[in-house]
Structure 1
Amino acid sequence: MALKEQILEDMKQFMRDKNQVALGAVRMLRSEIRNAEIEKGGDLNDDEIVKLVSTAVKKRKDSAGQYKEAGREDLASKELEEIKVLEKYMPEQLSEDEIRSLVKNEISKLDSPDKKYFGQVMKAVMAEVGNKADGKVVNRIVKEAFDANN
């Protein structure tokens, strides 16, 4: 089943279950998919939908952090619940150890582990991990790897 069809089926199930938090998250996602399809002028493939889901998860993580800072735990917990629903549509995320292994492998290909190659390593690792890792996590791990080598 295509990801778009899975999202529609889940939305129907959330309606039957009267799960308002999950239903709201999936409705917002479907809306974003529809808007992107209108903008593109055609249907989105699964990879494009995964990118939209990833963006939606990042937005909610940012919102949850801001709500916590403002002392609004109720709103932060709602955002975190929506993240759990949306993450179901993303590929399984790589662990930090797996990312470290990829980073170490890329750095070993270099002539010297100099920070001037940071961008090159980031580009290579992000191309390899795709949607299976958050760019912020990869960035932090690459920085740590270069700091450890210097």
Structure 2
Amino acid sequence: MSTSKGQLEKDLHAAMKARDELTTATLRMALTSVKNAEVAGKVARELSDEEVEKVLAKEAKKRREAAEAFADAGRAESAAQELAEEQVLLRYLPQPLGEDELAVLVDQTITEGGFSGMGQMGQAMKAVQAKVAGRADGKIVSTLVRAKLGA
């Protein structure tokens, strides 16, 4: 069992004992998503820690987007619930890169790869995303890469 999945299960049991309903519900949802990812495809397999983090990042993004939709619809209580669930999930993800760190990483990757011009946007994005490894929003990364290549 991956250490990330094991930690989720351990924390779920602790939350259940503490009668923490928010954490219990969120971790159950997260573990269900992980298990669904494990059985997706032709053969069931166990996810690595990186794959578990990707599943959790996807779930956190879903919560953030749902919170925005609820807030736009004037449902503040539901938006707050979604944001609280996102905060629980963020405990299990690596710290996101700051804007300055991300800008430096984009500059280094583009310089190292020798990318120039918008024609190499896809190749540059692939190289940057490999180094970012889910620690930054793809839209922000895309904006920075586009600005750097367009300059």
Normalising by structure 2, we get a TM-score of 0.88
Distance 1:27 1:101, change over 3 A: same
Q: Which residue number in structure 2 is paired with residue 73 of structure 1?
A: 76
Q: How far does residue 86 in structure 1 lie from its aligned partner after superposition?
A: 0.3
Distance 1:111 1:13, change over 3 A: closer
Partner amino acid for 2:87?
K
Does residue 16 (structure 1) correspond to residue 38 (structure 2)? The answer is: no
Moved more, 100-109 or 65-74: 100-109
> In 1, are the aligned partners of 2:115 and 2:124 still within 8 Å (CA)?
no
Distance 1:17 1:108, change over 3 A: same
Does residue 134 (structure 1) correspond to residue 137 (structure 2)? The answer is: yes
For the aligned residue pairs, the C-alpha RMSD in angstroms reads 1.8
Question: How many residues were matched structurally?
Answer: 148
Distance 1:115 1:28, change over 3 A: same
Counterpart-to-counterpart distance in 1, 2:114 and 2:128: 17
Q: How far does residue 29 in structure 1 lie from its aligned partner after superposition?
A: 0.6
5+ long unaligned stretches in structure 2:
none
Q: How far does residue 111 in structure 1 lie from its aligned partner after superposition?
A: 6.0
Distance 1:111 1:81, change over 3 A: closer
Normalising by structure 1, we get a TM-score of 0.89
Q: How far does residue 21 in structure 1 lie from its aligned partner after superposition?
A: 1.4
Q: Which residue number in structure 2 is paired with residue 4 of structure 1?
A: 5
3-state SS of the aligned residue for 1:131? coil
Q: Which residue number in structure 2 is paired with residue 120 of structure 1?
A: 123
Counterpart-to-counterpart distance in 2, 1:17 and 1:64: 26
Counterpart-to-counterpart distance in 2, 1:36 and 1:111: 36
Percent of aligned pairs sharing the same letter: 33
> In 1, are the aligned partners of 2:115 and 2:149 still within 8 Å (CA)?
no
